[in-house]
Structure 1
Amino acid sequence: MKEVRLPNLFEIFIVLGSFLALVMSFTVFLDLPIQLALFISWFIAMILGVRLGHSYKDLQTAIINGISNGLEAVLILVSVGALIGTWIAGGVVPTLIYYGLEFIHPNIFLLATLIICSIMSVATGTSWGTVGTAGIAMIAIGEGLGIPLPIVAGAVLSGAYFGDKLSPLSDSTVLASSLSKVDVLDHVRAMLFLSIPAYIITAILFTVTGFIYGGKHIDLEKVDFLKSSLQQTFDIHIWMLIPAIVVIVLLALKKPSMPVIVIGALLGAIWAVVFQGMNIPDALGTAYNGFSIKTDVEFLNGLLNRGGITGMLGSLVVIIFGLGFGGLLEKMGVLQVIVSKFEKKLTTPGKITLSTLIVAFLANIFGCAMYVSLILTPKIMENSYDKLNLDRRILSRNAEVGGTLTAGMVPWSDNGIYMAGILGVSTFSYLPFMWLSFVSIGLALLYGYTGKFIWYTKEKSLQSQKLG
């Protein structure tokens, strides 16, 4: 039997370079689906795996294990797709849009967007669900108020990711803490030292920007036209929001995410029948096929004709292929080899923090899924933290910042494809306005290099006492 070895840097460069070349050429030049590039990348990586001494069966098992590690994301995404379709059909999302246009002042709209999406993401623990419901409502309101949509998308994503990396209900929060061997509530408390100041700075930035743009380009006739179009198309009343309230309350009570989201989708279908006049088969069909309607407002058509399980299939395939590719990278030890080359230089909390953020971001780039990053990063970096007796809470916090907050920055990742598709704003357009992500990364590095909010294990504390 052939002896298994780790790849050298040249082999890693060839495989990862081929991956990037495939992804860029398929999406930028050939106009081919990213999913096909990811599928082909499996076999490029497997060629290296065989060269390293792995059997095909072992490599296939690595793909399957990688996929199984992230299947929860697949289940939630399917549920969110059904939710979006029925909530539009049932008038939940249109009602959010209507009342937003009615009551939110243009000057504070961006701040309101940040706060609303933050509250929803903390309460529900899902950035995808937040963007698919409150997010598309805020995009519609921003369009009506004449505020540039990339900035609106940045505020939506800043709010959505705030809860996704902080809520104990979030799968990413649970994943980052569990793989770092940290209690989830201890992880959340450690995140607060970074998340609260980052949130305040982000809120100030969006408030200032809101006053710059608010009211400048507002077209009151357009706002009134959008509102009247919504009223003509849907039954708009405050009780249309009951399905959203039910979902938020159930998730806040720590009920399992997938069944709660499915209950919300069922309530949306019921609302579509009872209040919007749809027949039962059509209302239920929106859960699978999404909502479809033709109005006199082209923007509303583009915004409301979405959702359904079928609308999530592209993202589902990206997740599956990305998780599989990440499984291959882990099996072959690709990222471990990269880290090992500069592991001896990781002698301070600052250097370890920087390295963790880089590894997490690279895992998003090459693993194409946030789950890949949150699974691989703690495994790869844990020894470096233990050598310096750094508390594992620092590892889980840095993995969350580097993994969760950068996932939406990669155009071919699960988050990048989903967010751009749902919001109708390209990844590179909204990326400069993901201010919470950039501020959080900056604070993580600041804490690492200054020693602020950096904690050590008992062994380190005892050593310090002896020296003293």
Structure 2
Amino acid sequence: MEQQIKGNAWALLPFAIFILLFIGSGILTGDFYKMPVLVALFIAIAVALMMNRKTDFQTKITQLTEGGGHPNIILMVVIFLLAGAFAKVAEGVGAVDSTVNLGLSFLPGSLLIVGLFVIACFISVSMGTSVGTIVALAPVGLGIAEQTDVNVALTMGAVISGAMFGDNLSVISDTTIAAVRTQGTEMKEKFRANFFIVLPAAIITAIIFFILTADASSAMQNEHPYNLIKVLPYLAVLLFAIAGVNVIYVLLGGILFAGIVGLILGEISMMDYITLIGDGFVSMQNLAMIAILLGGLVELIKQNGGIEFLLQSISKRINNDRGGELGIAGLVSTVNFSTANNTIAIITAGPLAKQISDRFDIAPRRSASMLDIFGSTVQGLIPYGAQMLAVAGVASISPIAVVPYCFYPMLIGISGLLAIAFRFPRFTITKKD
């Protein structure tokens, strides 16, 4: 039988140190690259390892490695590596330039970013993964920014916004599956309840991007040469994603197809192809290590009682059904801030959220929606999350610069709070309904 972990506020100290070093140093110096993320993580891990003297050092090392080796973490690392390889091969054969120029040729500048957001929404719903969507579309977003006067941080914000749309709604998203399973509801019921809450946020997001980029055409060139054959790798990735193919197969197929196109057109040699794949892997190594070490840090914090403390602190302040919904929102948000992974946050907070929903007669579809909505809100805004780090790595900018343009994650959080305050939509509120 698994031993019950006691809540301990001090267990959160390593995470506080990580945030202070990563974000605090950037605020103080004005340079968010001053403190490398890996260095901040290592310092936080060192502090976590020195805590909890009742546990021997070897056990704590085991906890660290088990956390870093969690199946979700390793899967994320594999996706990062494959995505990096696809991005480099697609860039090397000219697929990115042709894809961007195709869009520039047929869409007015005022609709490019809106189109990028909508495409990201479509792909993320189909693929069920925000990270996979981001690493596939971020190079296209960067290309659009380079050939227009649109701020690169804004284009990355559009990619993240669209990616989080699918992360929150896709029936094959791991976050959606986790929310449904922990609350004991049906996928279609959760989707229906969730959709009516977040749809206004998606529409408003598209309007905001349109307003901000209405004059984007002023800096465009008159001609944008493209080769339709070079666009095919991205088109194939899109079609396979829509078909619901596993993201690993999608990326592997994209790497292979982009290479074949490049070889046929004479853009690259076989050795160039292999080198590009290797360069793509290397480009994602830093991000992969961050994911692994952050997973290890979270496990140490959990074993030392930090996560349990957060759960207890929030749950004991709940005394009615509206408070129950706010409590569920606060639970998953706080845990997500601490773990930087909304799937893990939902799995962690889910059982307690189920207890709260049962106690205050909150419909399972409603509690599942609250878990997923607020998990996606936090995940789409934290600068140390996989999504933000991925776009920042592609665009070579600070993740902090992208946060102000992540309108959809902000708006679904607001929509969620309004839904709680005004009991909307009515059919989702209680089990009796």
User: Which residue number in structure 2 is paired with residue 396 of structure 1?
Assistant: 368
Aligned counterpart, 1:95: 98
- Structure 2 Cα separation of the partners of residues 425 and 173 of structure 1: 30
Cα distance in 1, alignment partners of residues 273 and 400 from structure 2: 35
Mapped to 2, the partners of 1:375 and 1:63 lie a distance apart of 19
What is the aligned counterpart of 1:118 among 110, 121, 127?
A: 121
For 1:23, the aligned partner's letter is: F
Counterpart Cα distance in 2 of 1:13 and 1:284: 44
| CA distance in 2: counterparts of 1:420 and 1:94, whole angstroms | 20
User: Which residue of the partner structure matches residue 20 of structure 2?
Assistant: 21
Distance 1:164 1:60, change over 3 A: same
| TM value normalised by structure 1 | 0.81
Seen in structure 2, the aligned counterparts of structure 1 residues 66 and 390 have a Cα distance that, compared at 3 Å, is: farther
Q: Given the alignment, which residue of 301, 313, 317 partners 1:341?
A: 313
Please state if 1:352 is matched with 2:324. yes
The structure-2 alpha-carbon separation of the partners of 1:288 and 1:393, relative to structure 1 and needing over 3 Å to count, comes to farther
CA distance, structure 1, for counterparts of residue 23 and residue 418 of structure 2: 33
Note the C-alpha offset of 1:414. Answer: 2.3
Q: Compared with structure 1, are the counterparts of its residues 322 and 396 closer, same or farther at alpha carbon in structure 2 (3 Å cutoff)?
A: farther
The answer to whether the Cα contact below 8 Å between 1:153 and 1:425 also exists between their aligned partners in 2 is no
Q: Offset of 1:168 from its aligned partner?
A: 2.3
Q: Relative to structure 1, is the Cα distance of residues 119 and 5 closer, same or farther in structure 2, using a 3 angstrom cutoff?
A: closer
Does residue 451 (structure 1) correspond to residue 423 (structure 2)? The answer is yes
Question: Deviations for 1:241-273, whole angstroms, at most 9, x for unmatched residues?
Answer: 322333333333333221231111111111111
Partner amino acid, structure 1, of 2:365: R
How far is the alpha carbon of 1:312 from its aligned partner? 0.9
CA distance in 1, matches of 2:145, 2:173: 27
Counterpart-to-counterpart distance in 2, 1:183 and 1:284: 45
- Larger mean Cα displacement after TM superposition, 364-373 or 264-273: 364-373
Indicate the residue corresponding to 1:265 in structure 2. Answer: 255
Distance 2:110 2:247 in 1: 35
Q: How many residues of Structure 1 are paired with residues of Structure 2 in the alignment? A: 424
Separation of aligned partners in 2, 1:63 and 1:265: 33
**Would the aligned equivalents of 1:62 and 1:327 in 2 still touch at CA under 8 Å?**
yes
1:336–1:380 contact (8 Å) kept in structure 2: no
Measure the CA separation in 2 of the matches of 1:58 and 1:390: 40
- In the alignment, the residues of structure 1 paired with residue 381 and residue 310 of structure 2 have an alpha-carbon distance, to the nearest angstrom, of 22
Q: Name the aligned partner's letter for residue 208 of structure 2.
A: L
Q: Determine if the alignment matches structure 1 residue 62 to structure 2 residue 63.
A: yes
1:280 matched to 2:270? The reply is: yes
Structure 1 residue 245 corresponds to structure 2 residue 235: yes
Matched, 1:147 2:150: yes
- Structure 1 range deviating more: 26-35 or 241-250: 26-35
**Matched residue type, 1:200:** I
Counterpart of 2:170 in 1: which secondary structure?
Answer: coil
Code of the aligned partner of 2:414: G
Question: Residues 70-98 of structure 1: CA distance to partner in whole angstroms, max 9, x if unpaired?
Answer: 22212222221121122222332221111
Rate the CA distance shift 1:79–1:169 in 2: closer, same or farther, 3 A.
farther
Conserved 8 A contact 2:131-2:386: no
2:293 alignment counterpart = 321
Q: Confirm or deny: 8 A CA contact 1:127 1:160 kept in the other structure.
A: yes
State the alpha-carbon separation in 1 of the partners of residues 119 and 372 from structure 2.
22
Mapped contact 1:370–1:407 kept (Cα < 8 A):
yes
Residue 154 of structure 1: how far off its partner (Å): 2.2
Instruction: Using the TM superposition, give the Cα deviation of residue 99 of structure 1 relative to its aligned residue in structure 2, in angstroms.
Output: 0.9
Task: Please give the alpha-carbon distance, in whole angstroms, between the structure 2 residues aligned to 1:82 and 1:63.
Answer: 28
Q: 1:117 to 1:253 in 2, by over 3 A?
A: closer
Residue 107 of structure 1 corresponds to 110
Residues of 2 paired with 1:383 and 1:57: CA distance? 35
The amino acid that maps onto 2:135 is G
Larger Rg: 1
Q: For residue 244 of structure 2, what is the aligned residue in structure 1?
A: 254
Q: 1:394 to 1:272 in 2, by over 3 A?
A: same
Aligned mates of 1:37, 1:159 — CA distance in 2:
30
- In the alignment, is residue 187 of structure 1 matched against residue 190 of structure 2? yes
Work out whether 1:330 is the aligned partner of 2:320.
no
2:219 aligned residue: 219
Q: What are the ranges of 5 or more consecutive residues in structure 1 without an aligned counterpart? A: 290-307
> Is the CA contact (8 Å cut-off) linking 1:154 and 1:430 kept in structure 2?
yes
CA separation of 1:331 and 1:187: change in aligned 2, threshold 3 A: farther
What are the superposed Cα offsets for residues 363-420 of structure 1, whole Å, 9 maximum, x if unpaired? 3433234444333232453322232132333333222222233224222232222121
**Contact 1:122–1:166 (Cα < 8 Å) also in 2:** yes
Matched residues in 2 for 1:25 and 1:445: separation?
28
Q: Which residue of 2 aligns with 1:45?
A: 48
Name the CA distance, whole Å, in 1 between partners of 2:424 and 2:211. Answer: 28
The answer to whether 1:439 aligns with 2:419 is no
d(CA) in 1 for partners of 2:168 and 2:266? Answer: 36
Distance apart, 1:441 and its partner CA: 0.4
* 1:178-224 deviations in Å (ceiling 9; x for gaps): 4444444443333212222211122222223333x334xx234xx24
Give the direction of change, closer, same or farther, for the CA distance of 1:361–1:422 in structure 2 (3 Å limit): farther
CA contact (8 A) 2:134 2:390 kept: no
Corresponding residue for residue 173 of structure 1? 176
Query: Partner of 2:281 in structure 1?
Result: 309
Distance in 2 (alpha carbons) for counterparts of 1:286 and 1:375: 37
Q: Is the 8 A contact 1:319 1:369 kept in 2?
A: no
* Percent of aligned pairs with the same amino acid: 21
User: In 2 relative to 1, CA 178–419 (structure 1 residues): closer, same or farther, beyond 3 Å?
Assistant: farther
State the SS of the aligned residue for 1:345.
coil
Tell me, what secondary structure is at the counterpart of 2:267?
coil
- Structure 2 vs 1, CA of residues 120 and 186 (structure 1 numbering), >3 Å: closer, same or farther? same
Match of 1:375, SS? helix
Contact conserved, 1:335 with 1:380, CA < 8 A, in 2? no
Long gaps (5+) in structure 2: none
Task: Check if 1:385 corresponds to 2:375.
Answer: no
- Partners of 1:376 and 1:120 lie apart in 2 by 27
Partner of 1:198: 201
